[in-house]
Amino acid sequence: MGFANSACSFTRFRILDPVPTELWSQIPDKLKQFAFRDIDDIPEMQAQGWVCYEDMLDTEWVTAPPQKGAYIVFSLRFDIRRIPAGVIKKHLAVALRDEKNRMNEQGKTFISRERKKELKEQVMLRLRARFLPIPSEFNVLWSIDRNEVWFASTQNKMIDLFVEEFLKTFELKLEQLTPYNLADSMLDEESLARLDQLEATQFAPLS
Q: What is the pLDDT of residue 180?
A: 63
Q: Give the integer Cα–Cα distance in Å for 40 and 91.
A: 21
* Domain boundary assignment for the chain: 11-81+133-187, 85-130
pTM (two decimals):
0.80
What does the pLDDT read at residue 192? 62
Three-state DSSP class for residue 95: helix
- Which stretches in the chain have pLDDT values below 70? 1, 179-188, 190-198, 200, 206-207
Helix axes 189-196, 179-186, angle to 10 degrees: 150
Buried b (16+ CB within 10 A) or exposed e, 181-207: eeeeeeeeeeeeeeeeeeeeeeeeeee
Q: What are 39-68's pLDDT values in tens digits?
A: 999 989 999 999 999 999 999 999 999 999
Note whether 82 and 39 are within 8 A (CB): no
